Amino acid sequence: MAARVLAALLATALALALAAGPAPARASNDEGDALYALRQRLSDPNGVLQSWDPTLVNPCTWFHVTCDQASRVVRLDLGNSNVSGSIGPELGRLVNLKYLELYRNNLDGEIPKELGNLKNLISLDLYANKLTGGIPKSLSKLDSLRFMRLNNNKLTGSIPREFAKLSNLKVIDLSNNDLCGTIPVDGPFSTFPLRSFENNSRLNGPELQGLVPYDFGC
Ligand SMILES: *[C@@H]1O[C@H](CO)[C@@H](O)[C@H](O)[C@H]1NC(C)=O
Ligand SMILES: *[C@@H]1O[C@H](CO)[C@@H](O)[C@H](O)[C@H]1NC(C)=O
């Protein structure tokens, strides 16, 4: 008798343990978490990020976010959105991103080096903000990049020589910053117009052929 009661108790305990199971909470979605971290970092006086609800399964229904059929984030469209604050490292986790459009806002701070992890990025548009600091060398890892527009910011330092490896780059605009040193001439740089580099008072024009590149005064 006692054995049967004990067996019944054990069976009940087992059933309860199975029913509790693993924590059911929202499936973790790293891309949603990264975007939500950006939302918390930014000041958003016009409320353009209001639909960014972290309790949803993924960020694919959030305004200004576009996913592919596998629910991976491929576009972030926050140009002309009047947001301010710093971009932060989290966006480097959106490894499927193709279009990063943050132009014409009041973003400040530095361009995070983590953006170099966005291997699928086609378009990097950060122009017309208040970004400071150097242009990260890590952006030379963006093999798919076709458009890089960082113009009209307050960027300093030199143009990374490694950008000459960006063989898919069709358009670069670094004008209206505070860059120094010389303009690379190799790879895609052989086709870019000088206007892409205008209004950087300390930039010294194209590298002289045959001279070892050296960033004088940078
Ligand atoms: C942008 O936000 C500021 C507040 O930070 C506000 O005064 C201004 O009107 C906004 N601009 C636009 C175009 O909505
Ligand atoms: C450089 O600055 C001048 C004077 O402000 C402006 O007219 C010109 O359009 C600028 N160049 C570029 C490429 O933005």
**pLDDT by 10s per residue, the chain, length 218:** 455 544 554 454 444 444 444 444 455 699 999 999 999 999 999 999 999 999 999 999 999 999 999 999 999 999 999 999 999 999 999 999 999 999 999 999 999 999 999 999 999 999 999 999 999 999 999 999 999 999 999 999 999 999 999 999 999 999 999 999 999 999 999 999 999 999 998 998 777 655 555 555 57
Residue at 152 is within a domain: yes
- Pocket (CB within 6 angstroms of ligand 1): 45-46, 82
CATH label of the domain that carries residue 83: 3.80.10.10
Question: Which residues are bridge partners to 183 per DSSP?
Answer: 206
Tokens of 204: 């010294």
Q: What is the pLDDT of residue 76?
A: 98
pTM of the model: 0.85
Quick check: is 19 in a domain? no
Its domain, for residue 159, covers 25-176
Q: Is residue 50 part of a domain?
A: yes
Q: How many residues are recorded in the chain?
A: 218
Number of domains in the chain: 1
Sequence-ordered list of residues with C-beta below 8 angstroms from that of 81, at least 6 positions apart, any chain: 44, 46, 48, 64, 105
Nearest residue (by CA) to ligand 1, atom 10, is 82
**Which residue has a Cα nearest atom 11 of ligand 2?**
198
In a domain, 11, yes or no: no
In a domain, 18, yes or no: no
